[in-house]
Structure formats: structure tokens, C-alpha cells
């Protein structure tokens, strides 16, 4: 046995109450067990104590209750585990001393073990599944770890010198892999930045660098081709925000009420939607029904997200905070050119300038009514759209290559950890 449960008193309590139960993993000799391929991946959720400044609201986002009497002291080097999230891999050896909520188990090591090795091994998918099997509950988010069933969970533990060697080996190799991943992530960020520059240049200056220019009359726009026009946003585009609808109006079926989660791709979906009574929609919200071809943006989500209404979402209602946009005259403004404009820094800049000094984080139709659109001749819009789409496709292809390389590096890292902690790689 490797761990013992240790129920700690809070420093403000007057009585000490310790409960020692031998829990958890059965120690195995490395011979025989080392050939089993059991450590396969690392989860993303890690329980630990994080240093925070209690007076710094920027860094401390955790709610601090008035009553800490049920909290436990967690000391550096102890193994802590969130009993309701153990099935997600929410556990680890703490590097700090602090307090944890009653939802955490705290364990002391009763045998000497290297924390680096232990963390690498225990955070494998296999162990996450073990802890999931040892958890009970009706709903996944409310599972509760059964400590008595933890006795059935085995752990392969090599001799301490080999643990340390494995941990040092993995720290070195994984740091190099993580560094390579970071380089490729930075390259992806640069590619996306390059795409924004291409869009911005095309929708504000066109494709002909020799074209005569004129002052747009708007500071943030600067000069534009002399034959282009500046138009009021709402003169060219119909804008309507979804109505304020209360939860009391939600039903199990009926007319879909589109939420922000349904407007995060290029096509509006019913993901996360609620439903409204059709009769009430006809009576109160019939003029809010969206139509196929409408564009949808969010006044609070990341800029650049533009979703088009397809057959699935047509006839739905948008929730408040979402806005539908409909071009008034397609012969003057191409939808695809307009989409690129919405994804450009020119649009972002206007939004931020209009929000400056406001305590409201989102924008709405009133903001759009004060904004401008740069409108080239229709044939030039078509050429600009073709140019942006071609360049964007090349950039997307480049990003896809980088993402595949990142996935391969992460898979290699997982395989490396798996091989090291199961004795398949000789490190000493």
C-alpha cells in the first residue's frame, strides 16, 4: 500500500481528528507487470493548490466563503483529489501548502515515492477510468468517489532510483516536445494574423496598389480608393436583435430559440437551443423569425464569428444578444464581401471605439447604427472576395498542416510517457 487517507483539521478548529485508512494502489514488482501497456495519456484537468493573492481580484477568481470550518489543510508533497471530479483526473501531488474544500480527499504517502514519477503515472487515461469506475452517482457531473473501492486500483511502482530517473528523463523530453508544440502554435497564430492583414488590406484599400486614393473622412479608416464609397451600416443592412425572452417561456419542443452556442460556426445550428410555444411566437415574436440566408452575429462573442442561417435554423428566433443581419440590396453589397468586412479589423475598431468608456461589454443595433461600411463597386467586391478566399484557403491549409504536426507531437509525448512509466524504455 502506497497512500493513507489523512483527514486534516482546519486551523481554527480546537479538536484534532485524524482518520487513517490504507487506500489505493497495490504495489507491484516491476518484473512481469512492466510489460503491460497501461499508461496511455494525460488528462487536462489537474487538481492542485494554486498560489493567489487574496486581495487581487484580477488573479483570484475563486469564491472565498465566510465559513472555512469544513476546509482542510493541504501541505506540499501530499496527494489531493477532488472526489467529485476524480473521474476527470482532477488530482495530483501538491507543490504548495494551502486549504482545500471538503470536496477533496488528502492522502499521505506511506512509502517513499518520487512525485514527478507518480504524477506522470497516475494521470494516465487508465487511472482516470479506474477512478471513474470507483465513483458512484446518477449524473456524471455529480459522481462521488467511493474511497473503499480505491483499494482495488493497482499501481506499478519501480524502485525509487528508477522512478527518479524516469521522471528526469520525461521532464527533459517532454519539455522539448512542449517547446516544439509552442513553436508551431506560434506559427499558427502568425498565419491567422496574416489572414487578418490580407482581409483588412483588401476591404479597405482594394487589390490595385496604384489606384488613386482619397481621404475617407473617418480617422480610423484613413484613405480609401477614390472611386469607393462610405455607407452607413444600417442604411445598407437591416439589423435586428433577438427579443428578451424569460426562462418561463421555455418548452421541451416548439419553435427553436437559438443561443450563442448555435452561432459559433459558419452555419447557424440548434446546438444548446431552447424551444418556444408556437402559438405565443405567432402572437408576440413572429416578426423575429429568422430566414434562410440571414447572417447572425453575437454582440458579446469574439469578433469575426459570422454564421449564416440555413434550412435547419430557418423559422427560429434568436435569443437576446444575437443579431440577424440582412443586406438590403444584393446588387450593391455582396454577402460574402460583407462577411469579410465583419471579420476585418475595420469592423472591430469601430465596435471598440463605440464601446469605449461604457461599462457594457457587448454591442447592439444602436452601435451598428453609428458605424460605417466601405463599399467598392460590385465587380471589385467580387474580385476582392475571390482574392481573400484563395489566400484564406492557403492559410487554412497551412494551419491544418501545423495542427496535424502538433497532434503527432502530442501523440508521441503520450507514447513516450507510456513507454517510460511501464519500463519499455531503459533510462538508467
**Cα dihedral 21→23→28→34 (10° resolution):** -160
We report the CATH number of the domain holding residue 275 as 3.90.220.20
Quick check: is 380 in a domain?
A: no
**In this structure, what DSSP letter does residue 389 have?**
H
105: how many CB neighbours lie within 10 A of its CB? 23
CA distances to 212, 220, 266, 399 from 195, in Å: 25, 20, 17, 11
- In the predicted model, residues of the chain with pLDDT beneath 50 are 8-50, 53-55, 57-60
Give the pLDDT score at 155.
79
Both 241 and 151 in one domain: the answer is no
Residue 421 domain-assigned (yes or no): no
32 and 151 share one domain: yes
In a domain, 82, yes or no: yes
**261 shares a domain with 151:** no
| pLDDT at residue 137, rounded to an integer | 64
C-alpha cell of 49?
493548490
Instruction: Identify whether residues 120 and 240 lie together within a single domain.
Output: no
Instruction: Please check whether residue 79 is in contact with residue 91, taking contact to mean a CB–CB distance below 8 angstroms.
Output: yes
Q: Is 207 exposed, middle or buried (0-12, 13-18, 19+ CB in 10 A)?
A: middle
Residue 210 lies in a domain: no
Domain final residue pick, 157, 179, 200:
157
Q: Is position 65 within any domain?
A: yes
On whether both 346 and 262 belong to a single domain, the answer is yes
Burial, 295: exposed, middle or buried (Cβ in 10 Å; 0-12, 13-18, 19+)?
buried
3-class secondary-structure state, position 365:
helix
Closest CA to 207 of 384, 385, 390, 394: 384
**Phi first, then psi: what are they for 216, rounded to 5°?**
-70, -20
In a domain, 391, yes or no: no
Count structural domains, the chain: 2
Task: Report the DSSP pairing between strands 3-5 and 22-23.
Answer: antiparallel
- Give the pLDDT of residue 10: 40
Q: Which domain holds residue 152?
A: 3-157
Residues 143 and 263 in one domain: no
Give the strand pairing for 79-82 and 104-109.
Answer: antiparallel
Is 387 domain-assigned? no
CA distances to 26, 227, 278, 288, 300 from 241, rounded to whole Å, are 60, 33, 20, 8, 12
User: DSSP string covering 255-304, please?
Assistant: EEEE-GGGGSSSB---TT-EEE-HHHIIIIIGGGB--TT-EEEESSS-TT
Q: Is residue 182 part of a domain?
A: no
Rounded Cα gap, residues 386 and 88, in angstroms: 46
User: Of 157, 185, 201, at which residue does a domain stop?
Assistant: 157
Q: How many other C-beta atoms are found inside a 10 Å radius of the C-beta of residue 367?
A: 19
The domain boundary, picked from 113, 128, 157, lies at 157
Q: What is the C-alpha separation between 323 and 297, in angstroms, rounded?
A: 5
Q: Count Cβ atoms below 10 Å from residue 4 Cβ, excluding itself.
A: 16
How much is the pTM? 0.75
Are 148 and 239 in a shared domain? no
Q: What is the pLDDT of residue 143?
A: 72
**What gap in Å lies between CA 382 and CA 238, rounded to an integer?**
22
> 144 and 237: one domain?
no
Between CA 46 and CA 423 the distance in angstroms is 24
| pLDDT tens-place string over residues 357-369 | 666 678 899 999 9
The CATH number for 114's domain is 3.90.220
Are residues 150 and 254 located together in one domain of the fold?
no
Amino acid at each position: 500500500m502506497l497512500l493513507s487517507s489523512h483527514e486534516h483539521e482546519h486551523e481554527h478548529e480546537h479538536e484534532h481528528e485524524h482518520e487513517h485508512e490504507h487506500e489505493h494502489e497495490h504495489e507491484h514488482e516491476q518484473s512481469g507487470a512492466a510489460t503491460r501497456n497501461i499508461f496511455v495519456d494525460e488528462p487536462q484537468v489537474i487538481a492542485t493548490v494554486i498560489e493567489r493573492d487574496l486581495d487581487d481580484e484580477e488573479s483570484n477568481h475563486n469564491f472565498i466563503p465566510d465559513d472555512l470550518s469544513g476546509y482542510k489543510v493541504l501541505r506540499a508533497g501530499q496527494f489531493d483529489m477532488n472526489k467529485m471530479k476524480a473521474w476527470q483526473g482532477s488530482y495530483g501531488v501538491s507543490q504548495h501548502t494551502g486549504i482545500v474544500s471538503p470536496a477533496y480527499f488528502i492522502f499521505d504517502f506511506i512509502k517513499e515515492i518520487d512525485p514527478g514519477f507518480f504524477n506522470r503515472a497516475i494521470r494516465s487515461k487508465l487511472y482516470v477510468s479506474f477512478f471513474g469506475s470507483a465513483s458512484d452517482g446518477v449524473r456524471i457531473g455529480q459522481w462521488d468517489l467511493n474511497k473503499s473501492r480505491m483499494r482495488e486500483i493497482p499501481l506499478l511502482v519501480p524502485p525509487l532510483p528508477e522512478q527518479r530517473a524516469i521522471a528526469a528523463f520525461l521532464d527533459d523530453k517532454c519539455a522539448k516536445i512542449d517547446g516544439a508544440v509552442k513553436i508551431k502554435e506560434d506559427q499558427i497564430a502568425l498565419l491567422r494574423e496574416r489572414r487578418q492583414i490580407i482581409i483588412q488590406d483588401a476591404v479597405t484599400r482594394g487589390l490595385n496598389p496604384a489606384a488613386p486614393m482619397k481621404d475617407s473622412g473617418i480617422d480610423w479608416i484613413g484613405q480609401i480608393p477614390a472611386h469607393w464609397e462610405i455607407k452607413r451600416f444600417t442604411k445598407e443592412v437591416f439589423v435586428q436583435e433577438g427579443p428578451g425572452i424569460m426562462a418561463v417561456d421555455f418548452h421541451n419542443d416548439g419553435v427553436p430559440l437559438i443561443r450563442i452556442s448555435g452561432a459559433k460556426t459558419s452555419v447557424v445550428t440548434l446546438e444548446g437551443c431552447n424551444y418556444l410555444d408556437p402559438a405565443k411566437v405567432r402572437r408576440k415574436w413572429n416578426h423575429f423569425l429568422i430566414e434562410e440566408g440571414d447572417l447572425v452575429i453575437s454582440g458579446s462573442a469574439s469578433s469575426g464569428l459570422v454564421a449564416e442561417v440555413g434550412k435547419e435554423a430557418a423559422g427560429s428566433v434568436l435569443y437576446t444578444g444575437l443579431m440577424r443581419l440582412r443586406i438590403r440590396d444584393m446588387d450593391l453589397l455582396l454577402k460574402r464581401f460583407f462577411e469579410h468586412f465583419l471579420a476585418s479589423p475595420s469592423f472591430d475598431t469601430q465596435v471598440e471605439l463605440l464601446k469605449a468608456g461604457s461599462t457594457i461589454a457587448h454591442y447592439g443595433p444602436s452601435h451598428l447604427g453609428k458605424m460605417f461600411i466601405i463599399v467598392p463597386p460590385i465587380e471589385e467586391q467580387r474580385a476582392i472576395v475571390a482574392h481573400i478566399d484563395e489566400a484564406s484557403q492557403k492559410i487554412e491549409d497551412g494551419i491544418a498542416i501545423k495542427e496535424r504536426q502538433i497532434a503527432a507531437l502530442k501523440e508521441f509525448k503520450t507514447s513516450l510517457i507510456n513507454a517510460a512509466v511501464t519500463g519499455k524504455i531503459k533510462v538508467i
